[in-house]
Amino acid sequence: MTVVVFCEYTGEHTASFAPPSEITLGYIYVYNPNSFDLSNWPIYARFTDDNFDFSDNIHENGNNLRFRSQGGDLLDYFLGEWYNGTLGEAFIKVPSLPANTTVTIVMNYEPGSTADLSNFSAVSLQIIEDLYSEWRFCHPSNTTLFDSGGNDWDGEIVWVDEDYVNKTDAYFDIGFQTEMDMWTGDQWGGGSMPYRSITNSAPFTWEIYAKWENDCWGPVMNTYDAENGIGTYIETGGTDLSLGTCDGDCKTIYIWDLEGGTWYHIIGLFASDYVSLKVNGSNASTSISSNHTDFNPENEPLRIAIDSWDITVDYPLLVEYARVWERILTQSEIDQLRDHYSIATSRFPNKVCVLNWTEEKPQVFVVVS
């Protein structure tokens, strides 16, 4: 559900529908190309030297900006980053976007006011509380971990420039790693790689968008208990992604042949009595015994590893994000989260603003702790 946003700077003038205390600077045109109406839709407006004059009487932090409907109603908005003279961004909630129609937003400023009307809560859709932990990763040169689950595993502020963000193959290099080699029980890993334990027990769902560049070997996720020889695993070998179980002997339930250089949407569901793996909509599942569902037999066997070096040299599994759901989601929760993605900005650290997700593969963006 994509909308088209165009910003037009006209220079200072007084519009008939602007309050006397405000001066109009320009307009934002929002086109809804869909065949259905949208309501309370947050749009993203980006201001640069090409479409905005920062030399006007805008305060350094942008706090005297106002956004109104053509009828004069003040719209809820949230200012993200604002680097006066260089870059500004605003998220504006539009009450109504009729199908196949362009709606005009009036962009004003209030010279004599210092009131900051930017309102994070009014624009954002809050993430379901305590539902999931989410990690987003950046380039090894400034590795970042952001945990929106509130578990105090946050990283630090990172800026990714627009060119990097907009690349179709932009991704954050990470690797998945377990405590033990699932065949021998030996320690393995290589390199100094920070990681976090994800969860202790089923049920939960694990989800990634990933791309294999070449052959990729090693466990992606498993619950293997080397001492007792039991467990459930999802692993890669060559260009295969396999689902299997171990109980003394290990057997593979299903194999996908993963084409290199292609993005895959991969979901692994571990429940109390079965495990399921879905790749781009194709699904395979098998029943498992209850002793396979302890995801913490050695205290912390299941981990996400963030690279402190270029992991693609040895493990070329490239992942944009990883989510771990704390419980099985209801259909309404799934629908809600599929329609949105999260962002955070330095204006409101430790908060997550959830806006509409308009791409099949989510765009990489800046994260903060």
Chain segment 27-62, per-residue pLDDT in tens = 999 888 777 788 887 777 888 888 888 776 787 778
| Domain final residue, candidates 123, 158, 174 | 123
Q: 367 lies in a domain?
A: no
> Starting from the edge strand earliest in sequence, which strands make up the sheet with 249-257, in order?
218-222, 230-237, 240-247, 249-257
Instruction: Tell me the residue range of the domain where 303 lies.
Output: 132-356
Q: 366 lies in a domain?
A: no
Query: What's the whole-number mean pLDDT along residues 291-320?
Result: 36
DSSP string covering 220-268, please?
EEE--BTTTTEEEEEEEETTEEEEEEEESEEEEEEEEEPPTT-EEEEEE
The mean-pLDDT minimum among 46-60, 162-176, 206-220 falls in 162-176
Check residue 21 and give its pLDDT: 83
DSSP string covering 319-331, please?
EEEEEEESSPPPH
Domains of the chain: total = 2
Domain co-membership, 161 together with 258: yes
Better pLDDT: 281 or 163: 281
- CA–CA gap between residue 105 and residue 6 (Å, rounded): 10
- CA–CA gap between residue 247 and residue 171 (Å, rounded): 36
Domain co-membership, 149 together with 65: no
Closest CA to 63 of 48, 52, 78: 78
Domain co-membership, 242 together with 316: yes
Which phi and psi (to 5°) does residue 348 adopt?
-130, 75
- Which residues are registered as beta bridge partners of 77? 92
Check residue 103 and give its pLDDT: 93
Domain co-membership, 27 together with 112: yes
What contacts 24+ positions apart, CB below 8 Å, involve 337-343? Answer: 337/128, 339/1, 340/125, 342/127, 342/134, 342/148, 343/80
Residues 6 or more apart whose CB falls under 8 angstroms from that of 188 comprise 180, 181, 218
Domain co-membership, 139 together with 67: no
| Domain final residue, candidates 64, 96, 123 | 123
Most confident listed range (35-39, 96-100, 220-224, 317-321): 96-100
Domain co-membership, 97 together with 179: no
Per-residue confidence at 256, pLDDT binned at 50, 70, 90? Answer: low
- CA–CA gap between residue 357 and residue 168 (Å, rounded): 16
Check residue 68 and give its pLDDT: 93
Domain co-membership, 77 together with 164: no
Give start and end residues of each alpha helix (H) in the chain: 120-123, 162-165, 331-338
Please report, for the domain that includes residue 54, its CATH number.
2.60.40
Residue 85 has pLDDT above 60, yes or no: yes
Per-residue confidence at 140, pLDDT binned at 50, 70, 90? Answer: very low
| Domain final residue, candidates 75, 100, 123 | 123
Check residue 212 and give its pLDDT: 56
Check residue 198 and give its pLDDT: 33
